Amino acid sequence: DAKTTQPPSMDCAEGRAANLPCNHSTISGNEYVYWYRQIHSQGPQYIIHGLKNNETNEMASLIITEDRKSSTLILPHATLRDTAVYYCIVGSAGKSTFGDGTTLTVKP
Protein backbone atom coordinates (compact mmCIF):
# COMPACT_ATOMS: atom_id res chain seq x y z
CA ASP A 1 0.00 0.00 0.00
CA ALA A 2 1.12 3.55 -0.73
CA LYS A 3 2.35 5.72 2.12
CA THR A 4 0.67 8.98 3.01
CA THR A 5 1.96 12.23 4.47
CA GLN A 6 -0.21 14.55 6.53
CA PRO A 7 0.56 17.65 8.60
CA PRO A 8 0.68 16.74 12.29
CA SER A 9 -1.79 19.39 13.41
CA MET A 10 -4.18 22.07 12.21
CA ASP A 11 -6.52 24.56 13.79
CA CYS A 12 -9.84 25.74 12.44
CA ALA A 13 -12.37 28.29 13.65
CA GLU A 14 -15.82 26.97 14.43
CA GLY A 15 -18.17 27.46 11.50
CA ARG A 16 -15.38 27.78 8.98
CA ALA A 17 -14.30 25.16 6.47
CA ALA A 18 -11.54 22.81 7.52
CA ASN A 19 -9.26 21.69 4.70
CA LEU A 20 -7.03 18.74 5.55
CA PRO A 21 -4.35 17.84 3.00
CA CYS A 22 -2.78 14.47 2.31
CA ASN A 23 0.08 13.54 0.01
CA HIS A 24 0.15 10.06 -1.52
CA SER A 25 2.62 10.38 -4.37
CA THR A 26 3.20 6.61 -4.74
CA ILE A 27 -0.46 5.71 -5.12
CA SER A 28 -1.23 3.01 -7.68
CA GLY A 29 -3.84 3.34 -10.38
CA ASN A 30 -6.41 1.12 -8.71
CA GLU A 31 -5.90 2.25 -5.11
CA TYR A 32 -8.57 4.22 -3.36
CA VAL A 33 -8.04 7.11 -0.95
CA TYR A 34 -9.86 6.74 2.38
CA TRP A 35 -10.36 9.16 5.22
CA TYR A 36 -11.15 8.21 8.79
CA ARG A 37 -11.22 10.18 12.00
CA GLN A 38 -10.71 9.20 15.59
CA ILE A 39 -12.15 11.07 18.49
CA HIS A 40 -10.30 10.57 21.73
CA SER A 41 -10.49 7.01 23.09
CA GLN A 42 -12.96 5.84 20.45
CA GLY A 43 -12.41 3.61 17.42
CA PRO A 44 -11.79 5.36 14.08
CA GLN A 45 -14.85 6.41 12.11
CA TYR A 46 -15.07 6.10 8.33
CA ILE A 47 -15.67 9.46 6.62
CA ILE A 48 -15.34 9.15 2.86
CA HIS A 49 -13.39 7.49 0.06
CA GLY A 50 -12.59 8.17 -3.60
CA LEU A 51 -10.67 6.87 -6.59
CA LYS A 52 -10.39 9.65 -9.16
CA ASN A 53 -13.41 11.89 -8.95
CA ASN A 54 -14.27 14.31 -6.21
CA GLU A 55 -16.73 12.88 -3.73
CA THR A 56 -19.21 14.38 -1.29
CA ASN A 57 -21.36 12.89 1.43
CA GLU A 58 -23.20 14.17 4.46
CA MET A 59 -20.00 14.44 6.46
CA ALA A 60 -17.41 15.85 4.09
CA SER A 61 -16.06 16.40 0.60
CA LEU A 62 -12.99 14.75 -0.88
CA ILE A 63 -10.98 16.50 -3.56
CA ILE A 64 -8.42 14.36 -5.40
CA THR A 65 -5.91 16.01 -7.73
CA GLU A 66 -5.88 14.97 -11.36
CA ASP A 67 -2.54 13.15 -10.97
CA ARG A 68 -3.96 11.47 -7.81
CA LYS A 69 -0.82 12.27 -5.85
CA SER A 70 -2.64 14.30 -3.24
CA SER A 71 -6.07 14.88 -1.83
CA THR A 72 -7.91 17.24 0.50
CA LEU A 73 -10.66 16.44 2.93
CA ILE A 74 -13.05 19.33 3.42
CA LEU A 75 -15.35 19.73 6.41
CA PRO A 76 -17.54 22.56 5.15
CA HIS A 77 -18.69 23.99 8.49
CA ALA A 78 -16.49 22.69 11.27
CA THR A 79 -17.98 22.30 14.73
CA LEU A 80 -16.31 21.67 18.08
CA ARG A 81 -17.33 18.02 17.75
CA ASP A 82 -15.12 17.72 14.66
CA THR A 83 -12.03 18.01 16.85
CA ALA A 84 -10.28 14.69 16.23
CA VAL A 85 -7.33 12.96 14.59
CA TYR A 86 -7.94 12.60 10.85
CA TYR A 87 -6.28 9.76 8.97
CA CYS A 88 -5.70 9.53 5.23
CA ILE A 89 -5.16 5.98 3.96
CA VAL A 90 -4.44 4.60 0.53
CA GLY A 91 -5.40 1.05 -0.41
CA SER A 92 -7.75 -0.51 2.07
CA ALA A 93 -8.46 0.32 5.68
CA GLY A 94 -8.90 -3.40 6.25
CA LYS A 95 -5.21 -4.08 5.83
CA SER A 96 -3.42 -0.76 6.05
CA THR A 97 -1.47 0.75 8.87
CA PHE A 98 -2.75 4.19 9.70
CA GLY A 99 -0.13 6.93 9.88
CA ASP A 100 0.01 9.56 12.58
CA GLY A 101 -2.79 11.55 10.97
CA THR A 102 -3.62 15.21 11.46
CA THR A 103 -4.92 16.44 14.78
CA LEU A 104 -7.61 18.96 13.92
CA THR A 105 -8.59 21.33 16.69
CA VAL A 106 -11.73 23.35 16.11
CA LYS A 107 -11.75 26.49 18.21
CA PRO A 108 -14.72 28.62 19.26
Q: In this structure, are strands 9-13 and 102-107 parallel, antiparallel, or unpaired?
A: parallel
94 vs 108 by CB, closer to another protein: 94
Q: Side chain identity at 40, as an amino acid letter?
A: H
14 vs 23 by CB, closer to another protein: 23
Q: Report the SS3 class of residue 64.
A: strand
Task: Give Cα 77 to chain centroid, integer Å.
Answer: 15
* Residue 59 binds another protein, judged by CB under 8 A: no
* Shortest reach from residue 44's CB to another protein, in Å: 5
- Give the x-and-dash track for 9-48 against another protein (CB under 8 A): -----------------------x-x---x---xxxxx--
* Shortest reach from residue 70's CB to another protein, in Å: 20
Q: Side chain identity at 88, as an amino acid letter?
A: C
Residue of 57, 65, 13, 10 whose CA lies nearest to 35: 57
* Shortest reach from residue 85's CB to another protein, in Å: 9
Which positions lie near another protein, rule CB under 8 A?
32, 34, 38, 42-46, 49, 87, 93-101
